[in-house]
Structure 1
Amino acid sequence: MLRCGQMLLAQAMVMKHLGRGMSCDASYAKILRMFQDKKNSLYSIHQIAQMGESEGKGIGEWFGPNTVMQVLKKLSMYDTWNKFAIHIAMNSAVVIEDQNASFSRYTSQQKPPNYCWRPLLLVIPLRLGLLHLNPCYVQALKVGFFILRSPRCFGCSGYLGMIGGRPNHALYFIGLAGDKLIYLDPHASQISVDLDEGCEALQDASYHSTSLLSMPVDNIDPSIAIAFYCESEIDFDAFCDFAQQELLAQHCPLFEILEKHPATWPRFQPYVRVDEKQSGNHVLPFDSWHI
């Protein structure tokens, strides 16, 4: 699941810096280097695993879709290049008030004075059944992939797909063909590549797949997370309008959109960047974290 989270986040970076017609330029190389298996790469396996301890996950423990995205959200606080605002909408609800608070670090009914939009990576963790996918959600998943790729959906190049898989086998779902989901499988062995600045030529073949894999929609594990990328506030408003009219009109909608934080829910607390990590009686700067 760690690799699936990396792929989803990398796709958001591609949308932000390269668009759909991506080219192999300096930004592309920089994206790849952020995911190298080195402790000094911000989104490396090393950093994800160590930050996972803040979510109660020891090194080597299984991460679910929600956990890996919570960890990536925390790491993104140190990302001065992409400057993503990653909002994870819990309880199957996108609460616009909470999302606005994620930008400003304050919770308020009105946008605070220091409110400033940043490129939004909206993640919605879902549990669509107990042990198996509830059949009532199959159509909503299929329609979601179809209409969110439609040109009618705010030019919805912003749909990032979903991470999940089958039991003990994480996958990144990127499309739909008939009754089957198209996915990328991170379990295939790849040659390790050093992408440091000193390399004469970018060797990126192991970061791409030459084949498409698929599986029936109803075979997936019920625990998933779907994700959207909204470059601007106009994109997000258009997404909300379209989702209300089309996606949420399904018999069993995947999620709902709320303007205000429900009074009966626990208070929403935006995650605040910690510039120094406390380790025992010592304070270690981020760059010196080790496994």
Structure 2
Amino acid sequence: MPQTTRRASHSGSWYKNSGTELLAGIEKWLAAVPGDADCKARAVISPHAGHVYCGHVMAHAYKHLDTSASRVFVLGPSHHHYTSKCMLSRAETYQTPIGDIQIDQQVCRDLEATGLFDHMNSSIDEAEHSLELQLPFIHATMRHKSYTLIPIMVGRLTVESEEMFGRVLAPYLDDPANVFVISSDFCHWGSRFSYTYYDPSMGQIHECIEKLDRLGMDLIEQGKPQAFAAYLKQYHNTICGRHPIGVFLNMLQACKTRCADGLPKLGFYTQFRLGLSSSYYRMAQAFGLKRLLQANSLPESTAPMWLLGNKYENAEQGGQHLSQEVWSAIMSDWFSRVWITYREGFPAIQGTCTSDVGWGCTLRTGQMMLAQALLQHLVGRRWRRPLDNVCPTEVAQILHWFLDDPAPQHAFSIHSLCAAGQGRGITVGQWLGPSTCCHALHALVSKTKPGGLCTHIVSSPGGGAPVLYSSRVADLLLLDPSEPGSSKGLLLFVPLVLGTGKTLNARYIPQLQQVLQWQQSAGIVGGRPGSSLYFVGCQDQNVLFLDPHTLQQVVTQDSELGTYFCDQLRCMPLANMDPSLALGFYCSGADDFADLCQRLSALERQSGGAPLLCVVEGQGEPAWETSLDTPISSAAGSPSAQKGGDWEFL
């Protein structure tokens, strides 16, 4: 028995759930689009993001849809369910807030009879938004006449499968009673989509994307599926909806109705460029400065922006914000920072958790700090992620060390951190503070010594500002005696509490701003219980951060390494940071460490008696240092010390 009705499962989130408000909004968007009586499109491409983002773009497509049709085919990509086929719905009715739409059962039976289509169950059907987002516009456009709907979810097809389904559906394209809606957001650009292609010879990033888009648009308008497939392969373009487009292009090629030059007679072509041009405009705006500022709440400012010691500023005075050239450099740097987030589906940790949602954010921010230090140590601060999304071998190796797997080659996985933290305050499934995380990272690096990197924790169990004994740490940077004068890299952890309760003491704000501007900065691990963040830069009174609170699937193959980079730049007022945090400093050698000590000493003199830490020449007493083997219960960061809302008292 077929499922009777598919609910409007995305109403109230992706679009309004009030029928009156939804219809009024759609009609307003449609009214804003100039009409063309001669353009009656038999097919349109329409985006499927939330209506608030792309409703005005969808209106360009639906304004020109041929409403004399009696059947509407909707082809959309699958975002949540893997299939290598096309899938039909078992529903008889699709609900929308402005009225129900009947599914054409006869056409669905005819397609099912080919033996080529699978069926969506109710959960798959209602989870997918690419089809549902089109329904309110379809019904608003077609509601004054009788029509039926044929929804088809298009899976991850091969070129051969696209051709096969195109041949199957081509006869329906020959029938003037049918119109087609292809659901596609077109180009998705950014590391979260594993697509960051950029050719500097094409201009700025948005100009490069426009040229790629227009190349794809031209191929689609020409109705050349083979050329479009070659274009996708050449540029690795992850167009969201590329498979529905591929099926439709094969329908065009296989349908019988032809004009003199061999192309199908379809009003589609005029509207097709209009729809795609509008889609491009929406996409390109996402890379414009205004959209970037709005999306991330960054104030429009000409003040320099600092990112892990790199300074970005306008070459000339004037203007209300940083130039596009400066922003391109900032984002290129940002795209190259390792972003480690919540994951699910990894092998169980100690037989319990297969996800770290809700408890692992501090471990993730600690991993990010270590990953940044390893990038600088093994690749260099000037490294920028190739925009063809292919990681160099050295970078891929670094990322492999952090994959969520208990195998020994993944030395800094969440499994390894939990194992190293046993007896030091880490309990699987429970949140922990930055000091505890630093001790676990220190234990792992001391054990594996990746690329010769060493670590040191500056702490002061006796109270007061932590003390860095420069001679002792300088000795760590010396290699074996047979290589006099040589040195190796150092990652310095400095756990701190800079206030009481949840309030950062304002006298420390200028010092935190300064350390984020130093070339040795490896960032700051901080946040509140359950919401740790990794701070990597600053502008004016704001700090830039990477947020680990995005849930992603565990990575199992190298093609998924792009999920370890982020294209979303976020900020918050520095004054809103939690007082419990951990500074990180990376020194490339003895000279770099000496420079850091000079900077810290100068900062101490300027602190007015409240330094972040003190630098003292000499070896110091072992009691001043928290030993690697000291149980965490007797050192800073003990569970009992973290009561009352603070992480640890040093």
TM over 0.5: yes
Given the alignment, which residue of 396, 413, 424 partners 1:55? 424
* Alpha-carbon spacing, 1:32–1:217, altered in 2? closer, same or farther (3 Å): same
* Alpha-carbon spacing, 1:192–1:117, altered in 2? closer, same or farther (3 Å): same
Shift of 1:119: 0.9
Q: Show the counterpart of 1:177.
A: 539
Give the 5 Å matches for 1:1-291: 1-22=362-383, 23=385, 24-40=391-407, 41-91=410-460, 92-100=466-474, 102=476, 117-131=487-501, 132-146=503-517, 148=518, 156=519, 158-195=520-557, 199=558, 202-246=559-603, 248-251=605-608, 252-260=610-618, 266=623, 268=625, 271=628
TM-score under structure 1 length normalisation: 0.78
1:62-115 Cα deviation digits (max 9, x unpaired) = 2211111110111112325322110000022211244246568xxxxxx99999
Q: Show the counterpart of 1:280.
A: none
* Alpha-carbon spacing, 1:86–1:80, altered in 2? closer, same or farther (3 Å): closer
- Which one has the largest radius of gyration? 2
Q: Show the counterpart of 2:100.
A: none
> Separation in 2 of the partners of 1:160 and 1:248?
23
One-letter code of the match for 1:18?
V
Q: Is the Cα–Cα contact under 8 Å of residues 366 and 437 in structure 2 kept in the other structure?
A: yes
Q: Extract structure 1 runs of 4+ deviating beyond 6 A.
A: 111-116
> Separation in 2 of the partners of 1:114 and 1:65?
35
Aligned-pair identity in percent equals 30
> Secondary structure of the residue that 1:206 maps to in structure 2?
helix
One-letter code of the match for 1:87?
H
Q: Is the Cα–Cα contact under 8 Å of residues 94 and 124 in structure 1 kept in the other structure?
A: no
* Alpha-carbon spacing, 1:62–1:245, altered in 2? closer, same or farther (3 Å): same
* Alpha-carbon spacing, 1:62–1:112, altered in 2? closer, same or farther (3 Å): farther
> Secondary structure of the residue that 1:49 maps to in structure 2?
helix
> Separation in 2 of the partners of 1:258 and 1:134?
24
- Pick which of 47-56 and 6-15 moved more: 47-56
Shift of 1:54: 2.8
Q: Is the Cα–Cα contact under 8 Å of residues 248 and 255 in structure 1 kept in the other structure?
A: no
Q: Show the counterpart of 2:222.
A: none
1:181-224 Cα deviation digits (max 9, x unpaired) = 110010112232214xxx5xx33221011111111111111111
* Alpha-carbon spacing, 1:249–1:112, altered in 2? closer, same or farther (3 Å): farther
* Alpha-carbon spacing, 1:242–1:103, altered in 2? closer, same or farther (3 Å): closer
- Pick which of 78-87 and 31-40 moved more: 78-87
Shift of 1:21: 2.9
One-letter code of the match for 1:119?
G
TM-score under structure 2 length normalisation: 0.36
> Separation in 1 of the partners of 2:431 and 2:605?
31
Q: Is the Cα–Cα contact under 8 Å of residues 603 and 611 in structure 2 kept in the other structure?
A: no
> Separation in 2 of the partners of 1:177 and 1:269?
34
Shift of 1:51: 1.4
Q: Show the counterpart of 2:229.
A: none
> Separation in 1 of the partners of 2:370 and 2:567?
20
Q: Is the Cα–Cα contact under 8 Å of residues 95 and 261 in structure 1 kept in the other structure?
A: yes
One-letter code of the match for 2:489?
P
> Separation in 2 of the partners of 1:139 and 1:241?
17
> Separation in 2 of the partners of 1:113 and 1:88?
27
Shift of 1:242: 2.6
> Separation in 2 of the partners of 1:103 and 1:270?
18
> Secondary structure of the residue that 1:82 maps to in structure 2?
helix
One-letter code of the match for 1:222?
P
* Alpha-carbon spacing, 1:136–1:187, altered in 2? closer, same or farther (3 Å): same
Shift of 1:246: 4.3
> Separation in 1 of the partners of 2:364 and 2:615?
29
> Secondary structure of the residue that 1:203 maps to in structure 2?
helix
> Secondary structure of the residue that 1:126 maps to in structure 2?
strand
- Pick which of 135-144 and 6-15 moved more: 135-144
> Separation in 2 of the partners of 1:76 and 1:237?
22
What is the RMSD computed on CA atoms of the aligned residues?
2.6
Q: Show the counterpart of 1:282.
A: none
> Separation in 2 of the partners of 1:175 and 1:194?
31
- Pick which of 26-35 and 242-251 moved more: 242-251
Q: Is the Cα–Cα contact under 8 Å of residues 446 and 455 in structure 2 kept in the other structure?
A: no
One-letter code of the match for 1:86?
T
Aligned length: 251
